[in-house]
Amino acid sequence: MIAPGTEPGLWRTARALAVRDLRMAWRRRGDVLQPVLFAVLVVVLFALALGREPQRLAADAIAVLWLAVLLAGQLALDALFRSDAEDGSLEQWLLAPVPLSWLVLVRVAMHWATTALPLIAISPLLAEMLHLPHDQLPMLLASLLLGTPLLSLIGGVVAALTVGLRRSGILVALLSLPLYVPVLVFGAGSVAAAARGQDPSGALLMLAAGLVAALVLAPLATAAALRISLS
């Protein structure tokens, strides 16, 4: 009889997948920069279109920043499962001794860390370009830190549904942007409320509640969608 081998648990599979994703992100460092550059360009274009008055820019800064981050994340979304589907890695995920939803959760987390985290890191610079008042910066960062993981989790479901399609660039956007609306409303809304001197905690708590719900439900939905896409 075959000698019993090592059976990987949740943490070992998660570590293996995380190490793999970080290695690949490091090998393709240029790709990680693309969403960041895109967000910078969106902000620059908005600034050019809005004119040079600092007050005017500052008034729209929150909306522009949130949209830039959201759209940049949107562009990176298609890469979430595509390469793993095309080279057969997902088939092996399905045969792993851990739930597919767990692998999906780890994958989305790594994708967030390599696409959204650089955006958050650069957002103070973008805020400066738009003359956002400095006292609003902590609120902006808090709303992005709560909002972007939520965007990644929701986007994961859509990316999984469309992974079987050959060209799905615009379809992913059409499906996911409506789902992003509540995140955008509460995310940008929290900063805007703080700017008006109102209490932003309500909006932030809604984001947090959404994030908790999505952490539990989105991986399950994504795993189901991947199974459908692969069969």
Partner 1 sequence: MLAAHGLSFTRDEDPVFGPLDFHVDAGEALLVQGDNGAGKTTLLRVLAGLLRPSDGRVSIDGRAAGTAERARFVAYLGHLPALKADLDTLENLHFLCGLHGRRARQMPGNALALVGLAGHEATLVRHLSAGQKRRLALARMWLSPAPVWLLDEPYANLDLDGITLVNRMISAHLRGGGAALVTTHGAYAAPPVRTRQLQLQVAA
Residues that bind partner 1 (CB under 8 A): 1-8, 12-13, 15-17, 19-20, 23-24, 27-28, 83, 86-89, 91-98, 230-231
Shortest reach from residue 155's CB to partner 1, in Å: 22
Provide the 10 A C-beta neighbour count for residue 180. 21
Shortest reach from residue 8's CB to partner 1, in Å: 5
CB nearer to partner 1: give 26 or 202.
Answer: 26
Q: Using CA atoms, how far apart are residues 165 and 90, in angstroms rounded to an integer?
A: 15
CB nearer to partner 1: give 61 or 226.
Answer: 226
Show the CA angle centred on residue 206, arms to residues 204 and 211, nearest 5°.
Answer: 95
CB nearer to partner 1: give 141 or 230.
Answer: 230
Residue 67's nearest CA partner among 163, 198, 172, 188 is 188
Q: Using CA atoms, how far apart are residues 132 and 124, in angstroms rounded to an integer?
A: 9
Shortest reach from residue 98's CB to partner 1, in Å: 8
Shortest reach from residue 228's CB to partner 1, in Å: 11
CB nearer to partner 1: give 49 or 95.
Answer: 95
Shortest reach from residue 95's CB to partner 1, in Å: 6
Q: Using CA atoms, how far apart are residues 187 and 229, in angstroms rounded to an integer?
A: 31
Q: Using CA atoms, how far apart are residues 9 and 118, in angstroms rounded to an integer?
A: 30
Residue 51 tokens, joined = 């004119």
Q: Tokens 């969106």 identify what position?
A: 42
Residue 101 tokens, joined = 């939803």
Shortest reach from residue 30's CB to partner 1, in Å: 12
Q: Using CA atoms, how far apart are residues 157 and 175, in angstroms rounded to an integer?
A: 10
Residue 203's nearest CA partner among 183, 218, 179 is 183
CB nearer to partner 1: give 55 or 231.
Answer: 231
CB nearer to partner 1: give 96 or 141.
Answer: 96
